[in-house]
Copies of this chain bind each other. A is one copy, B any other.
Amino acid sequence: MQEQRRSIIKKIFASLVAFTGLGLAAHAKAETRNKKEVFNVADEQDIPLFSGATKFGGMVFIAGKGAHFTGDIKSHTDHVLKELEKELVNAGSSMEKVLKVTVYLNDINDYKGMNEVFKGRFGKNPPVRSTIAVAKGGVPGDSLVEMDCIAYV
């Protein structure tokens, strides 16, 4: 009986230690998740302008990406999607983990061409998307398309 009780008390202690351990681990993880992280900061005259990606609380935000070379909507779309993917992977996310994409076209007539390259690029469970055409020449750096996205890790 005495032995049994001692054994019970040991088990309770073991549970408490394990439980406290879990609590501390969860706390440590929460600490990391609730810190802002930034990636690929772009400077303007040595002063931080914006980041390529920010991360907080398990969410990842990617900056608007354009294509700054001579090309058509298909090559620009492909380039922009690859730029998004680079930032996502660098921040610990992926194309499959994207929740929302915004597509800014230079010309609404490029809608179909953009779609051709866009489809399937985010896997079988794609993000939501909003697409609009801005002012002609309204995407910085003469890109035919700009995209940004929100994802998770």
Contact = CB atoms under 8 A, between A and B. Distances in A.
Nearest to A138: B133
Given A8-B9, A50-B127, A34 B58 contact: yes
A138 B130 CA distance: 12
A9 B16 contact: no
Contact of A125 (B36, B59, B63): B36
Instruction: Give the number of times this chain occurs in the complex, counting copies.
Output: 3
Interface of A is mostly: mixed
Q: Interface size class for chain A?
A: 35 or more
Interface of A: 5, 8-9, 12-13, 15-16, 19-20, 22-23, 34, 36, 38, 41, 43-45, 47-54, 56-59, 61-64, 96-97, 99-102, 104-105, 108, 111, 115-116, 118-120, 122-140, 146, 148, 150, 152
